[in-house]
Structure 1
């Protein structure tokens, strides 16, 4: 009998935006727990390179590049994962920053066109993924959906990220509604809400000043959070938003 805590042996996970950074950290952690990994990224070369890294580390990995804002591409991606691995158990919606970046700016200076990339990626991207993965999960009676959101949905900051924060708040609302619909059929839906991460200039200095633990979050930190929510042991956890922020926001 295995005694590995949070084992993913025999499971298949699809992680979006996993070509680098936090997404690759999530994929690596799930792979180390025994999961087969489908690596999605908007950029095909990133997806292939990340899958190659995981394969070299001993994982069973498949690159599945696709634009998660495109419903048809997402459905085709999920179908490919199921054909290749024989099923899909864990879906991590991690892709969160549009290809053109954050586009910082005051709300009063923004236009609907400025908002569209964030709503499309964060809200419609999650919706597209859930539309594609949930029917199979519900049919098999087991599944894990984990959405990566940001603490910007919870606390206002004068950084000019209204569109991003609003889209991440939408993620939280959708997670809770889906959890209410799927829990009795063995599927849990949760979110990880990230604070200051070590993926931007000045992040470490900001974290040292503004968080009790005195450092920014890492891909490994996010991977550990996902590994818990994806595990059999977290079967009684659904509809929750778990803060992963180094204590930077306590609420």
Structure 2
């Protein structure tokens, strides 16, 4: 008997920043393919609401609240998920915007404490998360690590997001190096690099002008990309940055 393509039945996934938007889309897509999904959010009530939403849709999901910029909280959260399910097969590092929201401004007028929020979340959060989940993946000889990045690492835009883009560029460098260490042990490491998404006002208007596919990206688009990278069918794909941008950048 053959499982359907991209089946994740029997897999256990942890998605950070999954309480809403793209993260919830990722969690829903993984659950739809058969995975058990732990919904992480820094705000406990948001994690619980999202997990309950998935459960009400018939999926197997639990809330896993933790501030992933705090290594102790992150390790405790991972330990709890492992205790519940026996392990973690898929780790999606999606959380990318600090709890206080996105900030904009010229780099020359910014302060180091503003940069720190993005580096702690998008680089150190990813690194600490990988360090927490990798031992189990390596021991079982199978794992998927997927970092959600942004096309801002690849192309400069006059939006005042230098620190955010730098943190995403750091994540890209990290996943490429990590992939070279883990591929022979069955663990793939990739990034999904997002273009203009429909989670902010004005995105659709910009996307209609700049994208070959004249619309902004959606949670469903991101979820589908992650579900593929998490699947058995993507076992020969690692160390890659996959652009999901509607054709706004083609190189």
Classify the TM-score, shorter chain: over 0.9
Q: Any unmatched runs of 5+ in structure 2? A: none
Secondary structure of the structure 2 residue equivalent to 1:149: strand
How far apart, in 2, do the equivalents of 1:135 and 1:85 lie? 16
TM-score (norm 2): 0.99
Distance apart, 1:84 and its partner CA: 0.6
How far apart, in 1, do the equivalents of 2:166 and 2:250 lie? 20
How far apart, in 2, do the equivalents of 1:168 and 1:85 lie? 30
Matches within 5 A, 1:100-119: 100-119=100-119
2:247 is matched with 247
Distance apart, 1:5 and its partner CA: 1.0
How far apart, in 2, do the equivalents of 1:153 and 1:159 lie? 13
Secondary structure of the structure 1 residue equivalent to 2:243: strand
1:66 is matched with 66
**Which digits, 9 at most, give the CA deviation of each residue in 1:7-50, with x for residues without a partner?**
00000000000000000000000000000000000110110000
**Which digits, 9 at most, give the CA deviation of each residue in 1:174-197, with x for residues without a partner?**
000100000000000000000000
How far apart, in 2, do the equivalents of 1:210 and 1:243 lie? 15
1:128 is matched with 128
How far apart, in 1, do the equivalents of 2:73 and 2:2 lie? 37
Secondary structure of the structure 1 residue equivalent to 2:101: coil
CA RMSD of aligned residues (A): 0.6
2:231 is matched with 231
How far apart, in 2, do the equivalents of 1:62 and 1:11 lie? 14
Distance apart, 1:85 and its partner CA: 1.1
Distance apart, 1:2 and its partner CA: 3.3
Distance apart, 1:87 and its partner CA: 1.4
**Which digits, 9 at most, give the CA deviation of each residue in 1:134-171, with x for residues without a partner?**
01100110000000000000000111000000000000
Secondary structure of the structure 2 residue equivalent to 1:156: coil
1:155 aligns to 2:155 (yes or no): yes
How far apart, in 2, do the equivalents of 1:78 and 1:3 lie? 28
2:207 is matched with 207
1:97 is matched with 97
2:32 is matched with 32
How far apart, in 2, do the equivalents of 1:107 and 1:240 lie? 29
How far apart, in 2, do the equivalents of 1:161 and 1:58 lie? 39
1:139 is matched with 139
Distance apart, 1:102 and its partner CA: 1.6
How far apart, in 2, do the equivalents of 1:234 and 1:202 lie? 34
The count of corresponding residues between Structure 1 and Structure 2 is: 251
Distance apart, 1:3 and its partner CA: 3.8
Distance apart, 1:224 and its partner CA: 0.3
Q: Any unmatched runs of 5+ in structure 1? A: none
How far apart, in 2, do the equivalents of 1:60 and 1:151 lie? 32
How far apart, in 1, do the equivalents of 2:43 and 2:2 lie? 37
Distance apart, 1:59 and its partner CA: 1.0
